[in-house]
Chain A
Amino acid sequence: SAVISQKPSRDICQRGTSLTIQCQVDSQVTMMFWYRQQPGQSLTLIATANQGSEATYESGFVIDKFPISRPNLTFSTLTVSNMSPEDSSIYLCSVRLSGNTIYFGEGSWLTVV
């Protein structure tokens, strides 16, 4: 497995502001993924972030709202821009390890007021 650290673990933000969530892995990984989990719902894939290329966004998610950086093989950031209360969710980072299994971080709990 891998140690996947997310920061912040929780935050309360004002609407209209932006928040950047960091994901740090203790080993080099090719593929990283960002998910959103709205209250009481399952996980929804936002985008796939590969090092050295642009992130690939799923239907319903756009780069202007959720810009992603992937500067190296152990780190990625997801920014939630111009937040509204509907963005209140858990944001989860996940990685695919060399054995092809995908592991998840503990998530970043975001509340927009």
Chain B
Amino acid sequence: DAKTTQPTSMDCAEGRAANLPCNHSTISGNEYVYWYRQIHSQGPQYIIHGLKNNETNEMASLIITEDRKSSTLILPHATLRDTAVYYCIVRVAEKTSYDKVIFGPGTSLSVIP
């Protein structure tokens, strides 16, 4: 089973920041938080990941709470092309011979003109 919970769907006005929450209350100390998104008809696209510090890249920012039990993905200026299903995932930080990524249902984000 997925180790995260996310809202089923969200709307965001174009040009505004989209804040997508994720709960991962059972996360272990050696697990990262990863975010992917899937635009219709495409494979999942990697966005960002983090362990305990906040992270930022050209696509998004990731804010992880101090207790690491939840996080928020921020798209600073949402565009219509950001309409997608966003998946929050936890997985082990170290390279192991046993590794797999389990997807939950994700959040369907609709960016509205």
Contact = CB atoms under 8 A, between A and B. Distances in A.
**Which DSSP category, helix, strand, loop or mixed, fits chain A's interface?**
strand
B43 A42 contact: no
A107 B38 CA distance: 11
B15 to A, nearest CB: 28
B97 A50 contact: yes
**Which DSSP category, helix, strand, loop or mixed, fits chain B's interface?**
loop
Contacts, number: 49
Interface residues of B, number: 22
Contact of B42 (A33, A50, A106): A106
B106 A42 contact: yes
24 contacts: A4-B43, A31-B99, A33-B100, A42-B85, A42-B87, A42-B103, A43-B44, A43-B103, A44-B103, A45-B100, A45-B101, A45-B103, A48-B99, A50-B97, A96-B95, A100-B94, A102-B34, A104-B36, A104-B43, A104-B44, A104-B45, A105-B43, A106-B42, A107-B42
